[in-house]
Amino acid sequence: MALLLERELAGALKFVVTWPSAHSYRLHGPDMLDLACPRCSTPLNEGWACPSCNSSPRSLRGIPDLRVVEDAYLPNADDWAIALKLDAAYERLDFRGLLDFYFDLCPDLTSADRARQVSHILTAGPRARGWVEAIGGGLPDGPWLDLGCGSGSFLSEDLKAGRETVGIDVAMRWLLVARKRLDEAGRGHVRLVCGNAERLPFADRSFGAVVAGDVIEHVADQAATLVEAHRCLKPTGRLFMATPNRFSLTPEPHVGVWGVGFLPRRWMLGYVRWVRKMDFRAIRTLSYVGWTRALRRSPFGGASIVPPTLPGTDLAAMGGLKRRLAVGYNRLVANRLGRAAMRAVGPLFHIVATRDDGPPPTQPPLRETTP
């Protein structure tokens, strides 16, 4: 996307944005990464059309809608309706205004939950830097993929390091917020794609790293997502995931309810509705043992699973008792015995899995939907 500056008579600067056309279908970067059809893996033509499936997806602000399955949280049609409202307000609002407008369109959120989510978005920088540190060095050349990029928190931080990073999310509504954030940062060239984690619209071995922060607990099929992440990684590339611990002694972070993870899964939805009147259908957290098993069964064959230190910005946003407990947690994970204990009952995990040099795995068929 070209960003042109025109000087007005008063001497102020006016930004004129030229949006990518349908012909800008390649992911511009060192490797000219192409999009692939999520149904049949055929490279997409201009306008993101698939010559094999004869499909031609809709788009907003240069973001193609390549979803083939429904979002577990919100039907794709409902998401698109919200995205159209955000698109209509796009030119008159800045990033923070568009973010507030997004939450205005979510009346079911309490003011406390809204404030918590906004704070989480605006203070994401140190968390993003911690994710990069956890991934480590020695990665193969090539772009990174921000899987479940949401409002663009990781993208906006990671691009400061000069990396070429692509963002994908199942929610077009969040991608419009991310586009606004990136445009204001002068990074409107960054490619954003609307698609499913279980059917990524990229060719095999496309990325040096896949980053999925606070995402894997929301996908409809975690096993399929691991298969797809492995397929899209280059040999020796790494997958990073940050995700809550099911058996954490702290309240479940998405709904703020104590003890949810210790219940049988069939009771969780009703319990959360009874306590907070909130929907818990699209959240599936795992324990340390659960993730160990899932990753051993995946094409990765295993992974490093550690309880991370909480960044100072997260501590600063906490109240007195909660902050003291968080400081105590950070001290625990600084030693081996403490880390072992927090794998069982700590609040979250950082997971790093490496792709070996074997052939790409095959995917089972998924039930498709038409956007």
Nearby residues of 160 by Cβ (< 8 Å), 6 or more positions away:
none
Is the confidence at residue 163, as pLDDT, over 90? no
Task: Say whether pLDDT at 366 is over 50.
Answer: no
Q: What is the per-residue pLDDT for 358?
A: 57
Nearest partner of 301 among 242, 357, 245, judged by Cα: 357
286-315 tens-digit pLDDT: 999 999 999 999 999 999 999 999 888 788
Which are the contacts of 315, defined by CB distance < 8 A and separation ≥ 6?
A: 323, 326, 327, 330
- First-to-last CA distance in the chain? 25
Supply the DSSP string of 47-61, one letter for each residue: GG-BTTTTB---EET
d(CA 295, CA 353): 8
CA 225 from centre of chain? 12
Q: What pLDDT, in 10s, does the model give residues 34-44?
A: 799 999 999 99
Predicted confidence (pLDDT) at residue 363 exceeds the cutoff of 70 = no
Task: Say how many C-beta atoms besides its own lie within 10 A of residue 107's C-beta.
Answer: 6
CA dihedral (158, 163, 168, 174) positive or negative: positive
pLDDT in tens, 69-85: 999 889 999 999 999 99
Residue bearing tokens 């324990």: 287
Q: Domain 60-354 is classified in which CATH homologous superfamily?
A: Vaccinia Virus protein VP39 (3.40.50.150)
In this model, does residue 254 exceed pLDDT 80? yes
Q: What is the pLDDT of residues 54-74, one digit of tens each?
A: 888 999 999 999 999 999 889
CA distances to 102, 204, 301 from 38, rounded to whole Å, are 28, 12, 24
Are 6 and 14 a contacting pair, CB within 8 Å?
A: yes
Spatial strand order in the sheet of 304-306: 192-194, 165-169, 144-147, 207-213, 233-244, 348-354, 304-306
pLDDT band for position 370 (cuts 50, 70, 90) = very low
Q: Per-residue pLDDT for 3 more than 50?
A: no
Q: What pLDDT, on a 0 to 100 scale, did the predictor assign at position 295?
A: 98
Of the candidates 358, 352, 360, the residue with the CA atom closest to the CA atom of residue 238: 352
- Averaged pLDDT for residues 120-148: 91
Give me 76's structure tokens.
């794709």
For residues 153 and 124, give the distance between their C-alpha atoms in angstroms, rounded to a whole number. 6
Q: Which residue has the tokens 């830097």?
A: 129
